[in-house]
Amino acid sequence: MVILGVESTAHTASVGIVTERAEVLAIASDMHRPAQGGIHPREAANHHVEVLPGLVRSALETAHVRPSEIEAVAFAQGPGLGPCLRAGATVARTLALAWNRPLVPVNHCVAHVEIARVLSGLDDPMLLYASGGNTQVIAHASGRYRVLGETLDIGIGNFLDKLWIALGGTFPGGPALEREARLGSQLLPLPYSVHGMDVAFSGMFTAAKALHDQGAPRPDIAYSVEVTAYSMLTEITERALAHRKRDAVVLGGGVACNERLRQMVRTMVEERGGTSFAPPAALCVDNGAMIAWTGLLAFRQGLVSSVEGSAVQPRQRTDLVPAPWRSAVAATART
Ligand code: AMP
Ligand code: MG
């Protein structure tokens, strides 16, 4: 079985093709990079409308797959930016109609978990999902994925991007901040904002910008922001592991490409006697392959949608969608 997936929740338009053995046959992606400032939903959507047809073609070519071999078309239904989601959904509906194939809606956050789960071989890991717009700790319980902790204000990636721009850099800030942080050594005081299982970043944004305005060296600010923010994420992940009696963590989202975050989570999990896994960068960031793979899991359960019923859901919560492909027995045994 071969499934095609379309991702378009934020700045990345991507088409992926996977098999039922979770072989990734192709990922064709194109990221909208605003000339200045952050992401504008309408502009990003226009970008996606322009590039997606070419991405479909190039994914099919790379995969050496003909449209007649695609058994279903999956797309990210939410959460995400409305105009961006609609661009991807429109392409997916068009393909489903043109190829006469079922349409499978997929939750973007669940897709990050599922691709990491199949690649890691871990049966029931917890996900630390750290991306541009999302920051969540997610675990499976009683038939669906639950958000155990999350950001109370902005996503960690948006925080890093916004901060890097405020420090004179350009989008995307996460990778640039990571390089800058390697040159820093002094840990400057920043607000450490953990509230139970949740985190917040806006106080750290204000404080880091104030340090910059006062002339603190940028590498030290970058280093301190990374250490503080990733400690916060590692702490809530550890608390979730302890509460839910789990021992495995997978990472997902663009910020999970960060070596310091990976290392901090690995150290924490290994000290608890557990295992952590981060997918390769191409499958950590938003990508069509994770949508295709989760679409395949859903399709096998008959979770298809009519075109009329396939409206995008910009605020679709992780715990709103059922994940019946996870064994009910295994789920209850662990809750
Ligand atoms: P996503 O929303 O999952 O596509 O991820 C995009 C976000 O990941 C952006 O906010 C980037 O700044 C961030 N990002 C990408 N690479 C890194 C990195 N190496 N370290 C920290 N953040 C990163
Ligand atoms: Mg994402």
CB-based contact 190:228 (threshold 8 Å): yes
The token pair at 64 is 């050496």
pLDDT band at 334 (very low <50, low <70, confident <90, very high): very low
Question: From CA 54, how far away is CA 223, in angstroms rounded?
Answer: 39
Secondary structure letter of residue 151 according to DSSP: B
> Which of 26-40, 96-110, 213-227 bottoms out in mean pLDDT, i.e. has the lowest?
26-40
User: Does residue 160 have its Cβ closer than 6 Å to ligand 1?
Assistant: yes
Q: For residue 255, how far is its CA from the centre of ligand 2 (angstroms)?
A: 9
Residue with tokens 């499958």: 283
Using one digit for the tens of pLDDT, what is the confidence trace for 44-90? Answer: 999 999 999 999 999 999 999 999 999 999 999 999 999 999 999 99
User: Does residue 257 have its Cβ closer than 6 Å to ligand 1?
Assistant: yes
For residue 157, the ligand closest to its alpha carbon is: 1
User: Does residue 279 have its Cβ closer than 6 Å to ligand 1?
Assistant: no
In 10 A of CB 19, how many CB atoms?
A: 16
pLDDT at 245 over 50: yes
The token pair at 259 is 């070596």
Residue with tokens 């190039």: 58
* Sequence-separated (6 or more) residues with CB below 8 Å from residue 26: 15, 16, 17, 58, 59, 60, 61, 62, 63, 65, 289
> Which of 34-38, 70-74, 216-220, 301-305 bottoms out in mean pLDDT, i.e. has the lowest?
34-38
For residue 253, the ligand closest to its alpha carbon is: 1
Using one digit for the tens of pLDDT, what is the confidence trace for 120-153? Answer: 999 999 999 999 989 999 999 988 999 999 999 9
Q: Per-residue pLDDT averaged across 200-228, rounded?
A: 98
Of the candidates 79, 86, 84, 7, which has an alpha carbon nearest to the alpha carbon of residue 40? 84
Q: For residue 172, how far is its CA from the centre of ligand 1 (angstroms)?
A: 7
pLDDT band at 172 (very low <50, low <70, confident <90, very high): confident
Higher pLDDT, 103 or 35: 103
Using one digit for the tens of pLDDT, what is the confidence trace for 266-275? Answer: 999 999 999 9
